[in-house]
């Protein structure tokens, strides 16, 4: 078996290496899985650099989600050899094989695209929960977001459309407008100092009460200045490397609130039954093709350096996936 390993924090291309792992005997109730597809998420890169909010004990194997095939089971009927299952969240998925409790494994709905399913456990629930947790929206209400061409941003567009909400989507490049509009975006704007005025223009002066921020810094402030009195900006990322902030006008005169969202905390606080219900619903939407995101490319585990380099580049057309046991 092979796995990506890092023993110190630093630049991802310098700290990662591919290592051989010994085969470990299964304990009763465990299943062995061959990893079919696992994505490189921004949180994985931040973990490698030591900048993420929760860091593993080193040495460690990166990777938080993916899809695998059961190749061996011991003393359990929960899964069978050949079953396709979602990999356990946070299991260190950048490897050819891993073991997990058989009872905890969630099967893929029949006919589900493996690549799309491999990206289900981080970005889709982030988008879904943020749409439901912070502001009670009604059909026809508007949602504002930056980094709208990101994976989370694209899921927000689709899930908002399903719920009957409208979206204003802020990007850095004009050429993204046509693609996001085809996905279901109601308005696409390039981030600029006059963003609040342009948001009022495209929404017809509607009271926008919810915004999602993955950038930080002045971009967060422009979102806050675009919201109606009592609105909420939810920060879930820091692509700019700067802390999120709101203007004095927003906080004092409009009572705008800045909140944070981290999926890890949500899972710690949420009953397992509620989590399973969410993931089951999202799995159904992925299985029927409603939820999907573009894949930039797939890489073998041996090409981890190339995969990381591509994942960290700007202007990508989609997610970078690792396929440790051959393309799927």
Report pLDDT digits (tens) over 103-126: 999 999 998 999 999 999 999 999
DSSP E strand boundaries for 95-218:
97-101, 106-107, 142-145, 166-171, 187-190, 210-213
Tell me which of 52, 155, 165, 236 is the catalytic residue: 52
Which residues 6+ apart lie within 8 Å of 65 measured at CB? 38, 39, 41, 86, 87, 89, 93, 118, 119, 120, 121, 122
The Cα 271–Cα 263 span in angstroms is 14
Place of tokens 């946070």: 90
C-beta of residue 304 within 8 angstroms of C-beta of residue 322? yes
Rg (CA), the chain: 20
Is the pLDDT at 314 greater than 90? The verdict is no
pTM of the model: 0.92
- The CATH-assigned architecture of domain 123-264 is 3-Layer(aba) Sandwich (3.40)
In the structure, what pLDDT confidence band is assigned to residue 23 with cuts at 50, 70 and 90? confident
C-beta of residue 143 within 8 angstroms of C-beta of residue 166? yes
Q: Is 165 exposed, middle or buried (0-12, 13-18, 19+ CB in 10 A)?
A: buried
* Domain locations in the chain as residue ranges: 2-119+293-322, 123-264
C-beta of residue 231 within 8 angstroms of C-beta of residue 208? yes
pLDDT of the residue at 327: 87
Among 98-102, 192-196, 275-279, which stretch is predicted with the lowest mean pLDDT?
275-279
**Known active-site residue 165:** no
In this structure, whether the domain defined by 2-119+293-322 belongs to CATH 3.30.110.40 is answered with no
Q: What is the mean pLDDT of the chain?
A: 96
């Amino acid at each position: 078996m092979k796995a990506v390993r890092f023993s110190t924090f630093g630049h991802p291309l310098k700290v990662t290496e591919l290592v051989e792992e010994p085969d470990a005997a299964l304990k009763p109730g465990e299943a062995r899985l061959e990893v079919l597809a696992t994505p490189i998420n921004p949180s994985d890169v931040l973990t490698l650099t030591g900048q993420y909010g929760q860091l593993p004990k080193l040495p460690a194997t990166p990777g938080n989600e993916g899809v695998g095939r059961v190749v061996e089971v011991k003393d359990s009927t929960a899964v069978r050899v050949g079953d396709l299952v979602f990999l356990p969240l946070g299991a260190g998925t950048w490897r050819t094989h891993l073991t997990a409790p058989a009872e905890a494994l969630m099967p893929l709905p029949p006919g589900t695209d493996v690549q799309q399913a491999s990206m289900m456990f981080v970005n889709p629930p982030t988008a879904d929960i943020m749409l439901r947790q912070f502001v009670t929206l009604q059909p026809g209400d508007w949602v504002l977001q930056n980094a709208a061409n990101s994976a989370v941003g694209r899921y927000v567009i689709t899930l908002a459309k399903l719920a009957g909400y409208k979206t204003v989507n802020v990007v850095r490049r004009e050429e993204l407008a046509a693609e996001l509009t085809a996905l279901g975006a109601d308005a696409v704007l390039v981030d600029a100092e006059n963003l609040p005025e342009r948001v009022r223009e495209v929404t017809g002066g509607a009271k926008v009460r919810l915004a999602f921020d993955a950038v930080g810094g002045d971009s967060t402030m422009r979102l806050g200045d675009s919201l109606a009195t009592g609105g909420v900006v939810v920060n879930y990322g820091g692509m700019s490397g700067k802390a999120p902030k709101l203007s004095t006008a927003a906080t004092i005169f409009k009572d705008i609130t800045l909140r944070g969202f981290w999926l890890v905390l949500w899972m710690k606080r949420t009953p397992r039954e509620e989590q399973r219900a969410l993931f089951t619903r999202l799995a159904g939407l992925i299985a029927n093709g409603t939820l999907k995101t573009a894949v930039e490319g797939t890489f073998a585990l041996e090409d981890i350096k190339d995969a990381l380099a591509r994942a960290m580049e700007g202007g990508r057309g989609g997610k970078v996936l690792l396929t440790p046991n051959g393309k799927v």
